[in-house]
């Protein structure tokens, strides 16, 4: 069904408040989920509030404040106090940007958080301030390392962002063939998973999302993707996460920001990024293929189209569930 962007924003805000979140904390989480919908990432958008509700019912709502446990001119560590990553990650990003603008470079780690979300949401904020940014977040052990069938690391997203004289270049991926939110959404909507992305509890391939949630997902990119996921897991441990985080708990996140003028001229770098992006897009495509894109081109295009239209397409069953949550 169609729902206006404005109505979706208001509904999500009411649902977050029903769950116990302060209205003053909701600008970033609501914008985060709406941005996922605008970019066509339905599994991480409107439906996510239902997963948040389920997690809070299971483990309770944390009333502990997010605190800074260590700090220097170029670094900080945040104790997320079991608060959701949309809020903790925003706090970490704000601090990382501020310190990098002042000192040229920064690293901020956050621990004891969950659902850090779409890392590109934070990366866009850094590139808008002319900063190069790297973000890592580990997660619950839903994914099997290459050659295995038991979960030992999370879907472990990693994101790189580069400011540009034109559009920033942002690459944001999960390091598993399918991410947790996609499997949860498939379960909600009664859909099967693609072949070859998950194992059941016994280590057998499965297309059933319920079985996959009791088993493990397949690492993206074979041994290379598995190695990247392990590196992200270790960055999370650097931030203070558990070695193997809980099921939706005790995640770690690292944000690194760099001002380009530490190594050269910022405007020259931004022109170089733009020039390189044009070079990549000008690549001759394979026969019968579409034009070559840079990372984030599709997301940017889809987001603008949906903004212009003013509406989102969301399964009616999800809208009804969120309305029931907000009005309950």
pLDDT beyond 90 at 3: yes
CATH of domain 65-176+219-281: 3.30.1370.60
* b/e code 135-160 from CB counts within 10 Å (16+ = b): bbbbbbbbbbbbeebebbbbbbbbbb
List, in sequence order, every residue forming a beta bridge with 105; answer none if it has no partner.
258
Q: Do domains 1-61+300-328 and 65-176+219-281 have the same CATH topology?
A: no
pLDDT beyond 90 at 328: no
Determine the pLDDT at residue 146: 97
Determine the pLDDT at residue 79: 98
What pTM does this model have? 0.96
- The percent of residues above 90 in pLDDT, for the chain, comes to 99
Write out pLDDT tens, residues 205-253. Answer: 999 999 999 999 999 999 999 999 999 999 999 999 999 999 999 999 9
Determine the pLDDT at residue 130: 98
Determine the pLDDT at residue 217: 98
| Average pLDDT estimate for 82-96 | 98
Domain ranges of the chain: 1-61+300-328, 65-176+219-281
pLDDT beyond 90 at 25: yes
| Average pLDDT estimate for 38-52 | 94
Average pLDDT, the chain: 97
Q: Which range has the worst mean pLDDT, 41-45, 126-130, 198-202?
A: 41-45
| Average pLDDT estimate for 82-92 | 98
DSSP E strands in the chain: the ranges are: 2-4, 67-72, 75-84, 105-114, 132-137, 143-144, 158-162, 169-173, 198-199, 216-218, 251-258, 311-313
pLDDT beyond 90 at 261: yes
pLDDT bin (cut points 50, 70, 90) of residue 87 is very high
CB-CB contact of 254 with 76 (8 Å): no
Determine the pLDDT at residue 30: 97
Does 3.40.30.10 match the CATH number of domain 1-61+300-328? no
Residue 24 to residues 80, 94, 322: CA-CA distances in angstroms?
17, 16, 20
Write out pLDDT tens, residues 48-64. Answer: 999 999 999 999 999 99
């Amino acid at each position: 069904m169609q729902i206006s962007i404005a109505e979706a924003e208001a509904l999500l805000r009411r649902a977050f408040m029903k769950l116990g979140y302060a209205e003053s904390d909701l600008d970033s989480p609501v914008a985060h989920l709406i941005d996922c919908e605008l970019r066509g990432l339905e599994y991480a958008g409107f439906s996510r509030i239902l997963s948040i509700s389920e997690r809070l019912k299971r483990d309770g709502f944390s009333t502990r404040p997010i605190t800074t446990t260590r700090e220097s001119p170029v670094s900080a560590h945040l104790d997320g106090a079991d608060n959701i990553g949309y809020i903790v990650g925003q706090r970490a990003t704000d601090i990382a940007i501020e310190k990098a603008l002042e000192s040229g470079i920064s690293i901020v780690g956050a621990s004891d958080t969950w659902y850090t979300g779409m890392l590109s949401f934070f990366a866009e904020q850094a590139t808008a301030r002319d900063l190069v940014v790297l973000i890592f977040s580990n997660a619950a052990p839903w994914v099997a390392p290459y050659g295995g069938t038991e979960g030992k690391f999370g879907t472990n997203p990693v994101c790189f962002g580069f400011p540009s004289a034109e559009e920033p270049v942002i690459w944001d991926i999960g390091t598993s063939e399918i991410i947790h939110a996609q499997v949860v959404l498939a379960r909600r909507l009664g859909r099967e998973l693609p072949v070859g992305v998950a194992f059941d509890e016994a280590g057998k391939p499965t297309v059933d999302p319920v079985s996959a949630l009791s088993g493990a997902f397949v690492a993206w990119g074979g041994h290379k993707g598995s190695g990247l996921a392990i590196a992200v897991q270790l960055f999370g441990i650097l931030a203070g996460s558990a070695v193997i985080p809980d099921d939706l708990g005790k995640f770690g996140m690292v944000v690194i920001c760099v001002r380009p003028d530490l190594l050269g001229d910022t405007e020259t770098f931004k022109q170089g990024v733009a020039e390189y992006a044009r070079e990549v897009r000008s690549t001759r495509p394979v026969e019968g293929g579409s034009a070559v894109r840079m990372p984030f081109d599709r997301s940017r295009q889809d987001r603008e189209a949906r903004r212009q239209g003013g509406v989102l397409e969301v399964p009616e069953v999800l809208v009804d569930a969120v309305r029931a949550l907000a009005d309950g």
